[in-house]
Structure 1
Amino acid sequence: MIRIWFNSFFRKVESKTRWRSLIIEKMDLKGRIVIYTITGCPHCLRAKSKLRELELPYTDVNLDNFPQCREPLAERTGKNTVPQIFFNATHIGGNDDFQKLVEEKENFEKLVEDVKNTPPPPEAPVPPDPSTAVEQDQDKSKKDESSGFSCEPDEYAKLVKEIKSSDIIQNHRAGLFTVHKNSFSGNDLVDWIVKAKAIDRSKAIEMGQQLVDRHYAHSLSKHPEFLDNPSSFYRLVEDEETSALNVGAGSECLARPAVELARDLRKLILKLYGSFLSEDGKAVDYKGIGQSEDFQKYLEMTRDLQRVQIEDASREEKIAFFINIYNALVIHATVKNGPAVNIWQRYKFFNKVRYIIGGYSYSLQDIENGILRANRKGIGMLFKPFGKSDPRLKVALQKHEPLIHFALVCGAKSCPPIKTYTSERIYDQLNLAAKSFLEGDDGCSVDMENHHVKLSKILKWYGEDFGSNDEEVLLWVHEHLREGDKKSQIAELLAEKSFKISYWPYDWAVNAK
């Protein structure tokens, strides 16, 4: 918890409005202003920026540090989004509510007078004890002062270095028209290992299979197993000719657990995002992120994705892993390539931006539509992301997960009070993200007079994930709304079978500066 106090530094000017002067004069509060936030939430920053502009001291309760406050906050406010702001026991609401209240000068004056002159009543929210904060770096023992992580060395990383210094990596022709650049045959590798390591052939073949299984190398043909013959070709993953943002020599450590790695990457990118958001939360200094020391650490960590083992992970682990990686990759790509500002750039962004994960390359489209939507066609796609022989198909979910659409981006006017997903509570977290999204009018709004429901265009673009017709889609929305007026209104429209649905335009505005 961070306590922020500001001293008055504006000179009173007679031309200022009475309410503005009142706020500047009265800075010593007997009461308390509390704002609940999360890291990297632009709406939270905008609210805090306005409080600072008005020179009102506040207590910031970051729910990333105090997750025990999430459920009581939702029960108290009936909201699943942040920020949530209180003046003593009076619940103001989110950032939009607060900004509107400030414009209502008379009502705002009364609240300021109350919080200035009245101590917090027993029913006012009490900030948590700072000693109960959750440690953000859970495994400090792994950290290394130089940048990263100490680790257990992988003997096959040393073998890769030796292979690269040998003469077996060459360009090989396969048929009349195909040339495998920077490749080696299974036969050549086995011959080299037998000679270099003075071991028998069967052991050398096992080592070749380990290179494939550990994702140091992969087959350039359809068969996944390592074959000791001159017509089976392989390439080191770090030698791939790809636009992947994490290409290059990887870590020499044993592969880290997939969910743990994705969580740490996401936390670091969120830290960067939060550090380089403007004070008003309206713009991100992507150039500043790219020049920071933490971003260089992030780049090193992304190399660990090359060898991560994800194929045999559970459904919950895959969902958490790929959501966190998708969201981190979006920011990484924006830092590296700049924001996409037109239709063509957005197409390239989602189809060309990629990471090497577990030995194979994945674009944002591949992650969203291939993995998380169980290999369904996305917007404007003529074909499914993965063909029948694509090895990445083994990683894809067996059944699509519609809730991922509310976790991949924070496109609403307020954010769910969580941004890093965990396999242990993935469905609770995804349901919370959906409720938070639909809570906002840009996610779902209801006009009872005209029997009109207006939804985010996400529910149109991916309509098949939510239902086969308008009624099924609206039923899905109803089931994922929190209890309240909006849910009751939609239930009434569904019961009467009298409604029409339209969709909000999608806001592609860029938040770079």
Structure 2
Amino acid sequence: MWTSAGIPRLRAKLKELTSRSTVPQIFFNSVYVGGNEELQKLAPEELQRLVSLVRTEPLPADALPLPEENPSEPADLETDNAAELSLLLREMILKLFSEHLSADGKSVDYKGMSVNPAFERYCDLAIQLQRVELLSLSREEKLAFFINIYNALVIHGYLRLGAPTNWWHRYRFFNYVSYLIGGEVFTLQDIENGVLRGNRKGVAQLRKPFSKTDPRLQVALPDVEPLIHFALNCGAKGCPPIKTYTPQDIDSQLRTAAEAFLENDDACVVDSGKGEVRLSQIFKWYRADFGDTDEKLLKWVLDHMSDSPKKTSLQGVLSGGKTKVSFLPYDWSSNSSH
């Protein structure tokens, strides 16, 4: 059995074979099953047949290459290069993450992860963030660096403090959990709304994260980047999946993340009969990033969908006249198994 967990060089081939941007997509040799949901629905005898197929028949010549099961850890863990350090951190935290996933892939044993020796190595590496030089980073490097750091910091915060359980706990978590980066403190709130959204007020925020005299303002991107919303994972089940991002071709990577998110019916539902589109709460909370009218919002969604029956349905609804926009419930439950 082979699954893709978002390895950049295989994404294009995987999408060509499956017409899907979401991961995992599961193959038993040349037999394509679908995603995790389809795998769980397989009858026991069919699953056994497919497992036997893998055991008894050679891998087809045109099969996707197998990813390394245990990629070696970086030999040199000391660096002041921001992009390189963020990738090292992400590789280490994702290794921990994958080792402590539940059988169905939907929850994480954070307690078990916290006592894994690899977590202490991650903490040692995170200390080096205070040494990195941020002002010289390009737009692409900032995007990759801060997205990777945000996702790693959420996991780190969960391990040290536990998952927030209500609105107030979430507010405190995202305004308290922080790293010292380049000599300045950056909370999760600062990273998302200060840096990646071009210093815009966040949800339930009364002011912008950075004042005009705040040295961190120099690091902020000049404009809001709407696609970051499909790359940031806050640790809730309603969030987009965790992936690793690189400065090279970052815009294409983010667009793929948006396509995958919109493929999911937890994020976008098109009801042709009612002329209604139901979207993730993300589009409500950050409405200003996508368009200040329903028309602009739906145009943004349409432009960022992959070619699919859902996109065709949305085109049909939009061509039929006024479309109702509503927002789906958000699953704030933690992806923790405890």
For normalisation by structure 2, the TM-score amounts to 0.90
Residues 343-399 of structure 1 deviation map (CA, whole Å, 9 limit, x = unaligned): 111110011111111111111111000000001011011111111111111100000
Q: Which structure is larger by alpha-carbon Rg, 1 or 2?
A: 1
* Aligned counterpart, 2:246: 422
Q: 1:281-300 counterparts in 2 under 5 A?
A: 281-300=105-124
Query: Structure 1 runs of 4+ off > 4 angstroms?
Result: 87-90, 108-125, 133-139, 410-416
**1:389 aligned onto 2:330:** no
Residues 455-503 of structure 1 deviation map (CA, whole Å, 9 limit, x = unaligned): 1100110011011111111111111110011111111222233311111
Shifted more, 366-375 versus 276-285: the winner is 276-285
| Equivalent-residue separation in structure 1 for 2:46 and 2:125 (angstroms) | 51
Aligned-partner residue type, residue 39 of structure 2? F
Contact map agreement 2:2 2:29 (CA 8 A) in 1:
no
1:448 to 256, 272, 276: 272
1:402 to 209, 226, 240: 226
Q: For residues 110 and 267 of structure 1, do their structure 2 counterparts lie closer, same or farther at Cα, with a shift above 3 Å needed? A: closer
Shift of 1:510: 1.7
**1:69 aligned onto 2:10:** yes
* Aligned counterpart, 1:489: 313
Q: 1:198-277 counterparts in 2 under 5 A?
A: 256-277=80-101
Aligned-partner residue type, residue 217 of structure 2? L
Gaps of 5+ in 2: none
For normalisation by structure 1, the TM-score amounts to 0.60
* Aligned counterpart, 1:96: 37
* Larger relative strand fraction: 1
How well do the aligned residues superpose, as a CA RMSD in angstroms?
Answer: 2.8
Shift of 1:330: 0.3
Shift of 1:297: 1.1
1:473 to 286, 291, 297: 297
Aligned-partner residue type, residue 69 of structure 1? L
Q: For residues 69 and 117 of structure 1, do their structure 2 counterparts lie closer, same or farther at Cα, with a shift above 3 Å needed? A: closer
Shift of 1:312: 2.2
Q: For residues 290 and 85 of structure 1, do their structure 2 counterparts lie closer, same or farther at Cα, with a shift above 3 Å needed? A: closer
Shift of 1:114: 7.7
| Equivalent-residue separation in structure 2 for 1:135 and 1:113 (angstroms) | 27
Contact map agreement 1:305 1:358 (CA 8 A) in 2:
yes
Aligned-partner residue type, residue 249 of structure 2? R
| Equivalent-residue separation in structure 2 for 1:442 and 1:398 (angstroms) | 31
Contact map agreement 2:29 2:59 (CA 8 A) in 1:
no
Query: Which protein has greater RCO, CA pairs closer than 8 Å, 6+ apart?
Result: 2
Percent identity of paired positions between Structure 1 and Structure 2: 48
Shift of 1:411: 6.0
Find the residue that maps to 1:403 and give its secondary structure.
Answer: helix
Residues 112-169 of structure 1 deviation map (CA, whole Å, 9 limit, x = unaligned): 6588589879989625267xx59945853x2xxxxxx3x5xxxxxxxxxxxxxxxxxx
Contact map agreement 1:89 1:120 (CA 8 A) in 2:
no
Q: For residues 111 and 386 of structure 1, do their structure 2 counterparts lie closer, same or farther at Cα, with a shift above 3 Å needed? A: closer
Q: For residues 319 and 414 of structure 1, do their structure 2 counterparts lie closer, same or farther at Cα, with a shift above 3 Å needed? A: closer
Shifted more, 487-496 versus 350-359: the winner is 487-496
Contact map agreement 1:276 1:288 (CA 8 A) in 2:
yes
Aligned-partner residue type, residue 100 of structure 1? K
Contact map agreement 1:414 1:436 (CA 8 A) in 2:
no
| Equivalent-residue separation in structure 1 for 2:131 and 2:29 (angstroms) | 51
Shift of 1:281: 2.8
